[in-house]
């Protein structure tokens, strides 16, 4: 299972950013040869009712962002044939700084299909899937930059263009036992393109950029090396398996091209137009550059006015009736059924729990549950995934925000019939631009301490995660965010629904 954010591209180009958020999340477990069968979408936005005249200069309207992002994510999922088991959007005014767009996916594979070996000199690297264009050049560095009023006009080229049907072909191809067992090591093309996806797959490499399939002519060596065009995989296989591997790929109408060879020189070399344009010693690359340090100051939590003593949505209300009405009128209490219905929740026929349950199918479920897809058989073995997150707690105390995110995700999982003791976690951090401020660094530091404390109490590990540290626009920062995702297996007959 894996979580992925595309906050920067979705803020700039909502449809494409959200679509490739899901595509990128799928390719991570796919690179491990596992089949992704269910997705969850958790997002953060400012008030979508904000009119155009109140929209900040250099920003898209929140209404456009939330609707187009939902269209993009659902379009990709529906085209690739992936069920979206849970959709939730959280509203906070500080998400006007930058949107939060999270896709979390869960996958499975027969154990014998997953081969993990070290590529040897003479092995080859095959580029599988989509062609390479200029889209996404600079996306990795762009996603780490603070937005300005000019970003909306200058950063659109950093947003990748999704092609869900092509990724569907890769999914089908990797379910082919013969093809999967030829693969020694596999990387998906995410941040950094060829130079990262292929560059880190083996210790010594000669990469021929002239062989990289292109969408159009005119790309120079740098563009071919760093483009983040989607739906591409780098696969290391033995040279003697080349013809058969490419033949199997063609059966799925997939482009498969031998673009690099594993060597024993100790260097990563990139060639373009017959000349070496990059020649780097692996020992140098493995140093990971200069080690950096920073000071951290964790600010004291206001214990007199805690989040729990001053529940924001009922401020100013005195009677139970007033509090009830005020809570019901809060944006985070509104029904999201219209949003959820944009997404297909039953593709593949493995869904155990639909997003809404109860007598009138109007009660949101605590999470998502699906049977593991088994080719040529049946099983009741299912997976549960839930999330925990409340931006209001994090704004009061990042430590408590993360702690309660873990507690909430585990509590939801148990409510669905899971076992907290066998639960595994993955975290998504999203914070403001940190710079060199010790106080700013103190927020993610405190959040990780809170999450770690909760893990120690439950005695359960986090085995995955992702971070994003660029949620600042001028003097506005996103809420200190740690979203906890909890996963467990369960027998479908023991699932408890709403």
Q: What is the pLDDT of residue 141?
A: 64
- 119 with 219, same domain? yes
Domain membership of residue 280 (yes or no) is yes
- The whole-angstrom separation of Cα 289 and Cα 254 is 37
Q: What is the pLDDT of residue 341?
A: 94
More confident residue, 309 or 35: 35
Domain membership of residue 289 (yes or no) is no
**Position of tokens 């359960």?**
460
SS3 content of the chain, % helix, strand, coil (to 5): 35, 25, 40
- 459 with 386, same domain? yes
- How would residue 472 be classed by pLDDT, with cut points 50, 70 and 90? very high
Q: What is the pLDDT of residues 304-321, one digit of tens each?
A: 888 888 777 777 788 999
428: nearest Cα among 460, 400, 387, 458 = 387
Q: What is the pLDDT of residue 140?
A: 64
- 278 with 131, same domain? yes
Instruction: Give the count of domains, the chain.
Output: 3
235: nearest Cα among 32, 23, 21 = 32
Q: What is the pLDDT of residues 266-290, one digit of tens each?
A: 999 999 999 999 999 999 999 988 8
Q: What is the pLDDT of residue 229?
A: 83
Is the confidence at residue 153, as pLDDT, over 80?
no
- 317 with 459, same domain? no
Residue ranges with strand state E in 64-199? 83-91, 100-108, 124-129, 185-188
Domain membership of residue 290 (yes or no) is no
- 66 with 158, same domain? no
- 220 with 210, same domain? yes
Domain membership of residue 295 (yes or no) is no
State the CATH number of the domain containing residue 263: 3.90.650.10
- 187 with 246, same domain? yes
State the CATH number of the domain containing residue 416: 3.30.1330.10
Q: What is the pLDDT of residue 133?
A: 86
| Upper half-sphere CA count for residue 93 (Cβ side, 13 Å) | 6
Q: What is the CA radius of gyration of the chain?
A: 23
Is the confidence at residue 161, as pLDDT, over 90?
no
Domain membership of residue 398 (yes or no) is yes
- How would residue 302 be classed by pLDDT, with cut points 50, 70 and 90? confident
- The whole-angstrom separation of Cα 8 and Cα 375 is 38
Q: Taking CA 171 as the corner, what is the angle to CA 166 and CA 174, rounded to the nearest 5 degrees?
A: 125
Residue 325, both tokens: 């009405």
Rounded to the nearest integer, the mean pLDDT of the chain is 92
- 168 with 39, same domain? no
- How would residue 489 be classed by pLDDT, with cut points 50, 70 and 90? very high
Domain membership of residue 292 (yes or no) is no
- 149 with 263, same domain? yes
For the segment 82-91, the average pLDDT, to the nearest whole number, is: 97
- 128 with 212, same domain? yes
- How would residue 144 be classed by pLDDT, with cut points 50, 70 and 90? low
Domain membership of residue 18 (yes or no) is yes
Domain membership of residue 291 (yes or no) is no
- 368 with 451, same domain? yes
Residue 299, both tokens: 């600010």
Expressed as residue numbers, the domain containing 457 is 2-109+336-494
**Position of tokens 């209404």?**
63
1: nearest Cα among 23, 30, 21 = 30
- 330 with 350, same domain? no
Last residue of a domain, one of 284, 314, 348: 284
**Position of tokens 């006007």?**
96
Last residue of a domain, one of 249, 284, 319: 284
Q: What is the pLDDT of residues 392-404, one digit of tens each?
A: 999 999 999 999 9
């Amino acid at each position: 299972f894996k979580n992925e954010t595309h906050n920067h591209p979705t803020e700039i180009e909502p449809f494409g950013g959200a679509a490739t958020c899901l595509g990128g999340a799928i390719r991570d477990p796919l690179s491990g040869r596992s089949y992704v069968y269910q997705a969850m979408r958790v997002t953060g936005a400012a008030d979508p009712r904000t009119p155009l005249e109140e929209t900040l200069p250099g920003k898209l309207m929140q209404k456009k962002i939330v609707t187009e992002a939902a269209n993009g994510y659902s379009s990709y999922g529906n085209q690739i044939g992936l069920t979206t088991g849970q959709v939730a959007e959280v509203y906070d005014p500080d998400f006007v700084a930058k949107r939060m767009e999270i896709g979390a996916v869960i996958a499975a594979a027969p154990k014998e299909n997953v081969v993990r070996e070290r590529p040897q000199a003479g092995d080859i690297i095959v580029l599988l899937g989509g062609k390479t264009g200029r889209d996404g050049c600079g996306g990795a560095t762009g996603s780490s930059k603070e937005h300005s009023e000019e970003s909306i006009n200058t950063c659109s080229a950093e947003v990748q263009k999704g092609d869900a049907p092509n990724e569907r072909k890769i999914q089908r191809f990797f379910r082919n036992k013969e093809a999967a067992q030829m693969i020694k090591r596999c990387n998906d093309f995410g941040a950094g393109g060829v130079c990262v996806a292929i560059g880190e797959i083996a210790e010594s490499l000669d990469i021929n950029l002239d062989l990289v399939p292109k969408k159009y002519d005119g790309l120079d060596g740098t563009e071919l090396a760093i483009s983040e065009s989607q739906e591409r995989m780098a696969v290391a296989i033995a040279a003697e398996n080349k013809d058969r591997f490419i033949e199997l790929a063609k059966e799925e109408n997939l482009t498969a091209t031998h673009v690099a060879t594993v060597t024993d020189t100790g260097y990563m070399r990139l060639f373009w137009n017959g000349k070496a344009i990059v020649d780097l010693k692996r020992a140098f690359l493995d140093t990971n550059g200069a080690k950096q340090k920073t000071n951290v100051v964790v600010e004291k939590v206001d214990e007199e006015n805690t989040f729990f003593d001053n529940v924001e949505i009922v401020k100013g209300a005195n009677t139970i009736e007033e509090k009830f009405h005020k809570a019901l009128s809060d944006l985070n209490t509104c029904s999201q059924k219209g949003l959820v219905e944009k997404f297909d929740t039953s593709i593949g026929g493995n869904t155990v729990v639909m997003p809404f349950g109860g007598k009138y199918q109007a009660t949101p479920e605590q999470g998502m549950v699906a049977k593991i897809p088994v080719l040529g058989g049946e099983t009741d073995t299912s997976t549960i995934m839930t999330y925990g997150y409340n931006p209001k707690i994090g704004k009061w105390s990042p430590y408590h925000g993360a702690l309660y995110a873990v507690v909430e995700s585990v509590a939801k999982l148990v409510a669905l019939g899971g076992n907290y003791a066998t639960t595994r976690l993955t975290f998504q951090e999203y914070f403001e631009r940190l710079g060199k401020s010790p106080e700013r660094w103190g927020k993610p530091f405190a959040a990780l301490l809170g999450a770690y404390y909760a893990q120690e109490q439950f005695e359960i590990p986090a085995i995955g995660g992702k971070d994003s540290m660029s949620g600042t626009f001028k003097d506005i920062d996103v809420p200190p965010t740690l979203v906890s995702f909890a996963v467990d297996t369960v027998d479908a007959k023991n699932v408890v629904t709403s």
